[in-house]
C-alpha cells in the first residue's frame, strides 16, 4: 500500500504531552486523554509519520509538578514572552532543516498549545494557545481530531462506475493518512454473494461500522442507496460523525436535497473538495 511514498520524509510537530503526559499540569489528564494520545501515536506509526515533539513552554517556565492555570494567571510576563521568542526560533530552525510538517498537533485548552480553544483566562476561550498562534501559517490540528482517523465509506457498489468512484474516494482519504474501510474491497461481489457469504459480509460491515470514527456516505442519485442509508442510520444511532457527500445537483424540494432524515443526521458536502476541507486534508 502507498508504493512510492517516502514516509521517512514525512513528519508532524506535536505538543510533547502527546508523547509524555507527565509534562502536563497535575491532575488534568484523563483516561480518555490517554486514549487520544495513544491513537495519535498509532496513526503516525501506521502511516510512517515521524513525530517531532515541540518544546513545552509551560514546563520550561514553571517546571513540574505544577497546578493547572491560565495564561493570564501565570504566564503573562515578559520573561515568558522572551522564552516563546527563543522557542519559536528553535522550531523554525527544525522546519527549515526538515521541510514543512504535515501539520502541527496541539492539545485543546492548553494555554500554550491549544488549537481551537485555550485557557487564556480562567474561562475557556476560542482560538489557539499563545505558542501555536505563532505558527498559524501551518495546519494546526487538535489531538482529538487527529486521533479520529478510521473512516467507513458507505456507498453504492453495484456498477463499475460506482466502484471506481468509491475507489477514488478511498484513495484520496488514504493518501491523507486515513484508515479506510471500503466494503467492496471485502470481496463483496455478485459471485461472493452467490456463495452464501451474506452473513459474513454483514458481520464484517457491522464490525467496521462499530470501529469507525467517521462515516462518509455517498448520497447521489434520485434516491439514496438503501444499504448506504442503513449504514448511515446505524452510525447515527452509535453516535458517529457522519459526512454525506452529495455531488448530484438535483433536489427533492427547495430545502431538501434528497432525504430529510439523512440530511438532518449528517454534515452535507457537495464536492470532494468540500469533503477534503472539513476533514482538513489536501487533494
Please give the tally of structural domains in the chain: 2
Beta-carbon contacts of 281 under 8 Å, excluding residues fewer than 6 positions away, are 172, 173, 176, 178
Mean pLDDT of the chain: 89
Instruction: Report the pLDDT averaged over residues 34-59.
Output: 96
Q: Place 283 in a pLDDT band, splitting at 50, 70 and 90.
A: low
- Cell for 225? 442507496
Helix locations, 48-159, DSSP H: 57-62, 71-74, 78-98, 143-146
Residue 282 predicted with pLDDT over 70: no
Share of the chain above pLDDT 90, in %: 71
| Same domain assignment for residues 138 and 201 | no
**End of a domain among 111, 146, 181?**
146
pLDDT digits (tens, 9 = 90+) for 76-131: 999 999 999 999 999 999 999 999 999 999 999 999 999 999 999 999 999 999 99
257, 272: one domain: yes
How many CA atoms does the CB half-sphere of 187 hold within 13 Å? Answer: 11
Asked whether residue 39 falls in the same domain as residue 158, the answer is: no
Is the pLDDT score of 278 beyond 90? Answer: no
Q: At 196, is the pLDDT very low, low, confident or very high (cuts 50, 70, 90)?
A: confident
- Burial of 250 per CB tally in 10 Å (0-12, 13-18, 19+): exposed
- Say if 2 falls within a structural domain: no
Residues 209 and 251 in one domain: yes
Task: Determine the average pLDDT of the residues in 176-188.
Answer: 88
User: Is residue 217 pLDDT above 70, yes or no?
Assistant: yes
| Same-domain pairing of 203 and 100 | no
- 13/142 same-domain check: yes
Asked if residue 283 is part of any domain, the answer here is no
Phi, psi dihedrals of residue 215, rounded to the nearest 5°:
-115, 120
In whole angstroms, what is the distance from residue 190 CA to residue 28 CA? 53
In a domain, 32, yes or no: yes
Q: Count the alpha carbons within 13 Å of 130 in the hemisphere toward its beta carbon.
A: 22
- Of the residues 99, 129, 146, the one at which a domain ends: 146
**Mean pLDDT across 144-151:** 95
92, 123, 146 - which closes a domain: 146
- Among candidates 75, 61, 57, 69, which has minimal Cα distance to 113? 57
Q: Does residue 1 lie within any of the structural domains?
A: no
Q: Rounded mean pLDDT of 254-275?
A: 80
- Cβ partners under 8 Å of residue 13, min gap 6: 52, 53, 54, 91, 94, 95, 101, 103, 104, 105, 135, 138
Residue 191 lies in a domain: yes
What mean pLDDT is predicted for residues 157-162? 86
For 270, counting Cβ atoms within 10 Å of its Cβ (0-12 exposed, 13-18 middle, 19+ buried), the class is middle
According to the model, what pLDDT value does residue 130 have?
97
Please write the tens of the pLDDT for every residue from 49-70. Answer: 999 999 999 999 999 999 999 9
Structural domain including 126 reads 7-146
Cα–Cα distance for residue pair 84/123, rounded to 1 Å: 23
Same-domain pairing of 105 and 160: no
49 compared with 200, residue with greater pLDDT: 49
pTM of the model: 0.84
Q: Could you tell me the CATH number of the domain that includes residue 193?
A: 3.40.50.450
CB 117 within 8 A of CB 99: no
Least confident of 2-6, 118-122, 134-138: 2-6
Amino acid at each position: 500500500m502507498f508504493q512510492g511514498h517516502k514516509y521517512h520524509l514525512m513528519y508532524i510537530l506535536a505538543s510533547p504531552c502527546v508523547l509524555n503526559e507527565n509534562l502536563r499540569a497535575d491532575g488534568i489528564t484523563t483516561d480518555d486523554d490517554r486514549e487520544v494520545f495513544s491513537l495519535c501515536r498509532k496513526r503516525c506509526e501506521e502511516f510512517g509519520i515521524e513525530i517531532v515533539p515541540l518544546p513545552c513552554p509551560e514546563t520550561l517556565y514553571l517546571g513540574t509538578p505544577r497546578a493547572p492555570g491560565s495564561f493570564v494567571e501565570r504566564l503573562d510576563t515578559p520573561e515568558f514572552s522572551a522564552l516563546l521568542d527563543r522557542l519559536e526560533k528553535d522550531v523554525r530552525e527544525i522546519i527549515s532543516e526538515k521541510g514543512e510538517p504535515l501539520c502541527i498537533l496541539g492539545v485543546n485548552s492548553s494555554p500554550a498549545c491549544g488549537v481551537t480553544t485555550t485557557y487564556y483566562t480562567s474561562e475557556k476561550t476560542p482560538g489557539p494557545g499563545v505558542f501555536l498562534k505563532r505558527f498559524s501559517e501551518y495546519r494546526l490540528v487538535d489531538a482529538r481530531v487527529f486521533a479520529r482517523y478510521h473512516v467507513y465509506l458507505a456507498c453504492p457498489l453495484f456498477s463499475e462506475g460506482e466502484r471506481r468512484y468509491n475507489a477514488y474516494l478511498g484513495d484520496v482519504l488514504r493518501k491523507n493518512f486515513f484508515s479506510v474501510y471500503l466494503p467492496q474491497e471485502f470481496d463483496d461481489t455478485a459471485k461472493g454473494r452467490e456463495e452464501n457469504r451474506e452473513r459474513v459480509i454483514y458481520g464484517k460491515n457491522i464490525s467496521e461500522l462499530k470501529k469507525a470514527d467517521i462515516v462518509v456516505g455517498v448520497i447521489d442519485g434520485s434516491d439514496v442507496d438503501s444499504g448506504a442509508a442503513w449504514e448511515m442510520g446505524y452510525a447515527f444511532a452509535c453516535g458517529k460523525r457522519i459526512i454525506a457527500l452529495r455531488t448530484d445537483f438535483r433536489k427533492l424540494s427547495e430545502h431538501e436535497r434528497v432525504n430529510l432524515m439523512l440530511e438532518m443526521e449528517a454534515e452535507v458536502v457537495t464536492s470532494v473538495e468540500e469533503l477534503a476541507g472539513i476533514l482538513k486534508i489536501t487533494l
